[in-house]
A and B are shown apart, each in its own frame.
Chain A
């Protein structure tokens, strides 16, 4: 199968609405001009808001975990479909070199998909976690090439993680 890649050296940021996107923004803001210019940055999110001022492209994934009710079969189905669509899009048209995840749980499928496609997986545990691991962190800790925590006390829960301070 010939891949019709239209973007090279892509970094995907996988971040949910609100604080998760804010963390992704801050990571991107820490890139040097040279690194930023050389990279095509795609945000995969569950937010309807537009973030084209910061990222080169934004893709939307349907959430699998509504905030005020339990997930239904329909939620899981639309999540699976939209996540698979993102992975397919990455595989067909992008040379994804790195995936940067700030959570929450919807990030699992796109992150693992990017990893399978050969991307280096960096996972940042949410800055709202101090005492307990997030579901996203629990799972991706096993698969991340590098795992970062923002609060030093989390090193007890993630012994192989790197403490990086608050984004």
Chain B
């Protein structure tokens, strides 16, 4: 099983270590950002301008609970395995992790220590997830009208 792990722009050493020391390390590619733990078993890199090809080649994408990463995956119909980064000073990733779990949009490991077991369970747990169906941005017309007014664009032009 090809595993791609992304931690976004903020280091998340406990997740990287857990994957690197787990049973999926040989088939894992990890984006570690500026983390100071460098995997010894798994392949890794710090940052790359585009990670879409890694996502396309993966059977499972493991990601931190950053909303940007998560929504991009869900919009592509991918069910990620999400692990909130609680090493950060602010713990707001727990909020989106709870929401994903409650909505059943993703497989969630609330602690990096659980991630390897979740990888084993992923094919089964994925079946219990539902399609991403949140109400999307519906305020474009009003926003454009507001900007037009502020910029002084003539309505009749």
Contact assessment for B151 and A126 in the assembled complex, using a CB-CB cutoff below 8 Å: no
Kindly report which residue of chain A lies nearest to residue B143, judged by CB atoms: A30
Q: Given A19-B67, A65-B89, A98-B150, answer yes or no on A131-B135 (Cβ-Cβ < 8 Å).
A: no
Contact assessment for B66 and A68 in the assembled complex, using a CB-CB cutoff below 8 Å: no
Q: Given A35-B147, A35-B151, answer yes or no on A127-B89 (Cβ-Cβ < 8 Å).
A: no
B114-157 residues at the A interface, CB under 8 angstroms = 134-140, 143-144, 146-148, 150-153
Alpha-carbon distance between A120 and B147 when the two chains are bound, in angstroms: 9
Contact assessment for A167 and B88 in the assembled complex, using a CB-CB cutoff below 8 Å: no
Contact assessment for A18 and B151 in the assembled complex, using a CB-CB cutoff below 8 Å: no
Alpha-carbon distance between A132 and B152 when the two chains are bound, in angstroms: 37
Alpha-carbon distance between A165 and B66 when the two chains are bound, in angstroms: 18
Q: Given A68-B88, A162-B139, answer yes or no on A129-B95 (Cβ-Cβ < 8 Å).
A: yes
Contact assessment for A22 and B151 in the assembled complex, using a CB-CB cutoff below 8 Å: no
Residue A81 lies at the interface, judged by CB distance under 8 Å to chain B: no
Contact partners of A65 in chain B: CB under 8 A? 89-90
Q: Given A22-B68, A165-B139, A167-B137, answer yes or no on A32-B144 (Cβ-Cβ < 8 Å).
A: yes
Q: DSSP majority for the A interface?
A: loop
Alpha-carbon distance between A19 and B69 when the two chains are bound, in angstroms: 7
The one of A11, A70, A131 that contacts B147, using a Cβ cutoff of 8 Å: A11
Query: Nearest Cβ distance between residue B34 and chain A, in whole angstroms?
Result: 10
Kindly report which residue of chain B lies nearest to residue A32, judged by CB atoms: B144
Contact assessment for A132 and B92 in the assembled complex, using a CB-CB cutoff below 8 Å: yes
Contact partners of B153 in chain A: CB under 8 A? 34-35, 38
Binding site for B on A (CB under 8 A): 9, 11, 17-19, 22-23, 26-27, 30-32, 34-35, 38-39, 47, 65-70, 97-98, 120, 122, 126-132, 134, 146, 148, 150, 152, 162, 164-167
